[in-house]
Structure formats: structure tokens, C-alpha cells
Amino acid sequence: MKQSGPGGALKSLITLGPARKDHWVGLRTGIGIFAPLILLLAINRLDLMVFVVFGAFTGVYGRVDGYWNRLRMQLRSGALFFAVIALALLASHWWINHDDPELKSWQLVGATTLVAGACSVAAGFLRLRPAGSLFHIFAFAAIASIAEPAPAGQALLAAAATIVFQIVVGASGAIGQWANVWQRTALPPLSGNVKSAIWWEGLFYVLTAGAAGALANTVGSRLDAGHNYWAMVAAVVPLVGHTTRMRVRRGVHRVLGTLVGMLLMAALVLANPPVLVLVVCIGLLQFMTEMLVIRNYFLAQIFVTPLALIGVSLVSGLSTAVMYDRIVETLIGSAVGILGVIGGSLFGRLLLRIRGTRTA
């Protein structure tokens, strides 16, 4: 049902879409991130946490029916995440100048912009769902920005082990249902129009992510906000959607959900619980995110916000500084993304008019 006007916009904040076995997806992803983090905590290796977290994103790509279809999807997504993590480590060692903060911020934006476009195209041709490169932007920039990451071999081993664990968790439901395991859905060949759309989508990811990163470096730095890649992540959020209205609403939901989610994060900062409790919170927040992200993006963002902030603060300790950064960068990125969607829609209409004039 379409919801238009102010009333429809407000109603969309509390309206849940149809359930699609979201609790199973939430359970799989929650376990997939909780178990590796508990292991790292037990062996006192939280320096590997960032690689485990982004390896665990493989579990997000499991919203497909059929165990074989899910396995195919997660093998592809896991391979792409591993490549992004490895590339980010290389960038941190050989490209990013961690001794010059200003140069570092521009190098990070430049490299992440290329990753945004490349991974969007890769996700399109690999038939990954969710589409786009939001998670890959986040993973690459977060790892590449680390001045002294864990040894590359150990980091890649942690990421690979988590990816494999997520794939195993995703396939665990097949136990006792062996007759259905090999049922697969053949993927039809991509048409020329679809291939062209994938390349255009990649270009929009490059332009939107790059513009958001550049604006975050110029405006965000004057506002004393760090984490410029959060603006790049927020900017590509509106690029997913079937209509311009849906895409713009998705960007607005990102902002509003972030602001409400800050209340939950503030409560955690005030409580200042031990690390073990924070790890449990990460698992629960991941579960709630996947429960809601398809049904209501605004409600999902309420849990995404503290999830992301705990993730970047787990080792150093919770603080209000990252809360400020999150708000500023989200506002910058979402504004760029929404304007990009509107501009892209107008450009598309112009092209259609030009083609119509030529064929008339």
C-alpha cells in the first residue's frame, strides 16, 4: 500500500512490512557475530574484533529460500568481503599516510570511493542481496583507517574463520532435511539492459559516496567531526529502492532512526557496562536489526546506531565523542544521498524526453 503526504510519511515510521521469517535471519546473524566475539574476548584478542565483525556481515546475505541458494549467495558474499578486507589491509599499510591526518582523510575518501563503485558492480553481477556496496564501504574504510592493525596473517585468518562460521550457521537448518538441500534455483542470464543498469548504478555509487566523503572532509572537519566514511555509508543508503519516493524516504529514515538510536546509545554510555555485557549487546542489537531492516528501516536504524558505535568503541571504551561524529556525518551523508537520488531521477526523466524527441 502506497503512503503519500505528511500523514503517510509519519505512518511509515511505525508501519511494519510483512514478516519473512526475519527471526531466523536475526538469530543466524546474531549468533554469527556473538560467538566469534566471545572467543576473542576469552583469548584476549579484541584487536581482531574489526575483522571478525566485517567477516560476520556474510550472514546478512542469507535472505533467500533454499539451502543451496543461500550457500551460493553466502559463498559469493563471503569471497567479496574477504577481498575487501584484504584490500583494506593493503591500503592501510601501503597507501594511507597515517602520519598526516588531512592527507589521510582524502586518501581514505578516494580509495573508498573506488571501492564503492567496484563493489556495487560486483554485487550486481554476483546477484547479491542486499544489493549495493554499503557494507563494503563500511568494511574497507574502517579497516584502512586503522594506523596499526593486527598482523595481516592473523587478521585475514580471523576474517576467513568468521566467514566460514557464518556460512556453516546459514546451512545449519539443512540438518535433518537432506532431501531439500540440493534443490536450487537456476539464475537466469543477465540481459543487456540489466548489465547496463548495474554499471550505471556503480557510477551513482561512485558519485554519491565521493561527494559525501569530500563534503565530510570539508564541512565535517570544520565541525570537529571524524569518521568521514560514516557520511559515505549514509549517502549510499537512499540508492536502494524501487522508486524515488522510497529512496528519499529511506534516507530520511536513516537520519531519524540515528537520532532516536542515540538515546539508546546514551543509556549505554551512562551505564558503562563491562565488555562482556557489550558483546552480548552486540549480538542482541544485530538480531533486532535483521528482524526489522526489511520491515521498517527507521526502526532498524534505532538498533543499528548503537551497534555501530559499540563496535568502534569496544576496545577504547564508550564515549560521547563518537555519538557526535555519527550525528554530523549521518546528516551530511544522508543529505548528499537524497539530493543525489532526486538529481538522478531528474536526469533519467531528461534522458527519456530526449529519446522520445529523437524517435518522434
pLDDT tens digits, one per residue of 2-51 = 555 555 667 777 777 787 778 888 899 999 999 999 999 999 999 999 99
- Residues 295, 345: contact at Cβ < 8 Å? no
| Whole-number average pLDDT of the chain | 88
In three-state secondary structure terms, 190 is coil
Tell me the mean pLDDT in the region 254-274.
92
Selection from 265, 255, 270, 252 nearest residue 323 by Cα = 265
- Residues 90, 140: contact at Cβ < 8 Å? no
Tell me the mean pLDDT in the region 328-338.
93
> Which pLDDT does position 318 carry in this prediction?
80
pLDDT tens digits, one per residue of 140-193 = 999 999 999 999 999 999 999 999 999 999 888 766 555 566 667 778 888 999
Name the residue with higher pLDDT: 133 or 175. 133
Tell me the mean pLDDT in the region 65-77.
89
Residue 359 has pLDDT above 60, yes or no: no
For the question of whether the overall pTM of this predicted structure is more than 0.85, the answer is: yes
C-alpha cell at 124: 550486481
The pLDDT confidence band at residue 1, using thresholds 50, 70 and 90, is: very low
pLDDT tens digits, one per residue of 90-131 = 999 999 999 999 999 999 999 999 999 999 999 999 999 999
